[in-house]
Structure 1
């Protein structure tokens, strides 16, 4: 199987300026996603062909990625038309696919996007997403989720006509009675190349999707200063107490 891994990060960010090129616990944030890819290659890839590309308009981010000589990453300079904050990320990933196929002369069976701002994942998480997508070729994407802390049928509310009411009216008296919901944790997405080329990008996740459930390592992805500070606290705890997260940290440390 030919697998394309994508790392996508633009220079601009309204939530947290320059977040993709920031450090995380003293090391470049992007290295944690790269470490998960490197460990996946070592532990699970077997005879698969693995390519990795970075799609960005950020020169500092390019510099950080190129400091790691042990993981080859192709650089795709992002076109200005794909650099706006209203551009669907799926459109950027399709751009990665088309250009990587030209760059490497390969046809890819799967495209796996690793969100730079969600560093708390394991090599096994990556493997689980790829395995699930390979088992379900009919779905357009397999993405990662965690169990939701709130349920719109039970303990989520909205403001309407000057009052607060349940987000979805119901007669459930316990959360256990309500349908199960999950949070997309913006970490791993395993795409069908066909779907990337044929499906409407604005509504890509509205249908024909599947998911893997990850450990709830903090459902946040880094989009604010508060997220950035909190995620580092969570990371230090996981690296100390869970070996599968510690190996990511150890891999990053080797690159310093």
Structure 2
């Protein structure tokens, strides 16, 4: 609960994956990938219930073993490559509502973002709850750094490059001069339940951004991402120290 508002956390985890087959069941530091967001949700003080929606019986078993509820297997039409993720989320919300369980907020944590911590979930929820007068949802964002569009170029048919934004290369801005931009990084999604139904998603004009450091924004889609996250997890102390230094600078 947050004040008197109930919170449902949903972990969506399909059985199919083209980029990294079986990734949601793949062990990350000895724990299946799907178990990481479940652990983050269970550890969040504001979350009342953690539900895993999956079409895969083995993933369902893993979810149950790690403390989530998984009362159903997702219908096949909500688990295909072209199925909408929001439809799968609303299916889970409706399943509970039909059984008399209603929640004021819905949190979605995906296995592809295993670096999200319980503290992130609570902080984002509290931010949204405090801003309910002018916001209905909050999503993870991270600052654009090395890939800032100021430094993008076009590659011409003749092989020559030209600036994408600047008039010429002499006009390129220094890093200290560029506008701060952020990208939608997918580590967490939270919405007031009525707004989720009305908007059909988490992104709209009343959406806040919850800023996370670049290292937490890594999403696992391919093997190289998985290996990268393993390295990050092995160096969490150093990363935490960097974050602390950044907050005090």
TM-score (norm 1): 0.81
Q: Are 2:95 and 1:95 aligned? A: no
- C-alpha displacement of 1:62: 0.7
* Structure 2 match to 1:84: 80
Query: Which 5+ residue runs of structure 1 have no aligned equivalent?
Result: 244-256
* Structure 2 match to 1:194: 194
Distance 1:72 1:12, change over 3 A: closer
* Structure 1 match to 2:215: 217
Distance 1:218 1:129, change over 3 A: closer
**Aligned residue pairs: how many?**
232
Distance 1:109 1:218, change over 3 A: closer
Question: Deviations 1:96-120 (Å, cap 9, x if unpaired)?
Answer: 21112224x2321110001111111
* Structure 2 match to 1:250: none
CA RMSD in angstroms comes to: 2.4
* Structure 1 match to 2:183: 183
Q: Secondary structure at the match of 2:89?
A: helix
* Structure 2 match to 1:208: 206
- C-alpha displacement of 1:13: 1.2
- C-alpha displacement of 1:18: 1.1
Structure having the higher Rg: 2
Does the CA-based 8 Å contact 2:151-2:163 persist in structure 1? Answer: yes
Distance 1:85 1:226, change over 3 A: same
Question: Deviations 1:51-79 (Å, cap 9, x if unpaired)?
Answer: 221111111211111113xx341333211
Question: Deviations 1:184-239 (Å, cap 9, x if unpaired)?
Answer: 221111112122211255xx525432111123325321000110111101111116
Q: Are 2:35 and 1:35 aligned? A: no
